[in-house]
Amino acid sequence: MSCGEGFVIWLTGLPAAGKTTLANALRDELRKAGKRVELLDGDEVRKWLSPNEGFTKEDRERHLMRVAYVSRLLARNGVAVIASFVSPYREVRRRIREIVESDARFIEVYVKCPLEVAMRRDPKGLYKKALAGEIRNFTGVDDPYEEPEDPEIIVDTSKMSLREEVDQIIGYLIEKGLLESR
């Protein structure tokens, strides 16, 4: 692979772990480096690709397989894709990796954050609603989040600054020849 080739950075973690914040900062950094970048973020993409899907395990899987396919198409055409999705199940993430790697490089980034910290952040009030029984199948409350077993990168948003998180990912991309040195 060369610096001109596309790749997929898949951000996975609990709701309110900091995936969207990291994705936006990373997109800006990659654009500054001259990459063509597409950010696929959970809420926005769901609205267009899977408006009729709910949040059961099967619904999530169908939705994420669509996202994996779109990510692969973009990446094989030279786009740096940042996919920001809770994607709570290991087996589904394994299948996503297989889909993408048939044509492009896949980089799994575990956006680690303790549940208590994510619940305190809760910018949309979703944990509160889930704990009150207003939302079903909510990851971290009544649906599990299966931590990645061997991600390429782990960033801990409860301990690292946003700058440190971005620098770690950019450093990895440079090391792997996917991005020119700064």
Q: How far is CA 106 from CA 20, 116, 123, in A?
A: 18, 29, 29
Residues in the chain: 182
Three-class DSSP category at 153: strand
Closest CA to 68 of 55, 56, 83, 58: 83
**Count of alpha carbons within 13 angstroms of residue 96, beta-carbon side:** 31
Handedness of CA 136, 144, 81, 72 (dihedral sign): negative
- Taking the C-alpha atoms of residue 173 and residue 168, their distance in angstroms, rounded to an integer, is 9
- Taking the C-alpha atoms of residue 82 and residue 165, their distance in angstroms, rounded to an integer, is 14
**Count of alpha carbons within 13 angstroms of residue 140, beta-carbon side:** 23
Active site residues: 87
What are the tokens at 124? 């949309």
